[in-house]
Amino acid sequence: MKKTLSPKPWLFPRPVLLVTTRDVADKDNIITVSWAGMACTHPPMLTVSLRKSRHSHAVILATKEFVVNIPTSKQREAVELCGTSSGKDTDKFSLSGLSKVPASVVAAPLIAECPINLECKVRHVLPLGSHDLFVAEIVKTHVLHAILREEGGLNDEALDCMAWGSEEFFKVFTQRKHLLVPRFQ
Ligand SMILES: Cc1cc2nc3c(=O)[nH]c(=O)nc-3n(C[C@H](O)[C@H](O)[C@H](O)COP(=O)(O)O)c2cc1C
């Protein structure tokens, strides 16, 4: 038996990301984002969906640049802070204790504690309603050596990233023995 409901935004799992920006006055900010995803291989493109009321929305619209940083479960508290306070009136870098590292291509900083940082340039902005969809090209990738496989691929099991659903944070990867279908059999 299924109940038929009005339309709901119920797509799972949703990634947990920290998006960094630098505004035209050189002030840096961090926003927690989960309405996001990969969109294209060549060129590598991703999407981030932001409410028009977010401070980060105005900054990204003006600068057309940002960095997507993938936090680990160790940064859960910082993720909550960056998702509940606004860069309009707070400095989330000092409040969270997260550290900045200069990016290579864009002005926005990388978050040192995040094992993956994707520098992005906005190629399209699609007004959808409550949210605008930012379609951005990944122009540089930074990754911690410890989560790379010898052949160069990503050892995502070691990533310890999070997903967001039912107003809770979940660990995405677990021990190999708990995988639904073990990969190498
Ligand atoms: C787990 C989580 C996910 C979130 N995802 C989004 C999102 O995808 N888009 C969005 O506009 N706001 C999202 N938010 C809310 C913003 O992070 C929040 O409003 C933040 O305070 C805005 O910061 P800013 O005003 O400095 O840009 C999320 C919050 C949390 C806690």
Q: Provide the CATH number for the domain around residue 97.
A: 2.30.110.10
User: How many domains, the chain?
Assistant: 1
Q: Which atom of ligand 1 is nearest to the CA of 169?
A: 1
Residue 170 Cα to ligand 1 middle (Å):
17
Q: Which atom of ligand 1 is nearest to the CA of 79?
A: 31
Residue 82 resides in a domain: yes
The reply to whether ligand 1 has any atom less than 6 angstroms from the CB of 166 is no
Q: What is the pLDDT along the chain (185 residues), one digit of tens a residue?
A: 999 999 999 998 899 999 999 999 999 999 999 999 999 999 999 999 999 999 999 999 999 999 999 999 999 999 999 999 999 999 999 999 999 999 999 999 999 999 999 999 999 999 999 999 999 999 999 999 999 988 888 888 788 999 998 889 998 876 666 666 665 54
Residue 135 resides in a domain: yes
How many angstroms separate the Cα of 101 from the Cα of each of 85, 104, 113, 127? 22, 10, 10, 31
Domain extent for 39: 14-178
Residue 28 resides in a domain: yes
Scored b (16 or more CB within 10 A) or e, 161-181 reads: bbbbeeeebeebbeeeeeeee
Amino acid (one-letter) located at 83:
G
Residue 85 resides in a domain: yes
Q: Which of 11, 31, 48 is the pocket-test mutation for ligand 1 (most atoms within 8 Å of CB)?
A: 31
The reply to whether ligand 1 has any atom less than 6 angstroms from the CB of 162 is no
Residue 185 resides in a domain: no
Residue 46 resides in a domain: yes
Residue 2 resides in a domain: no
Residue 64 resides in a domain: yes
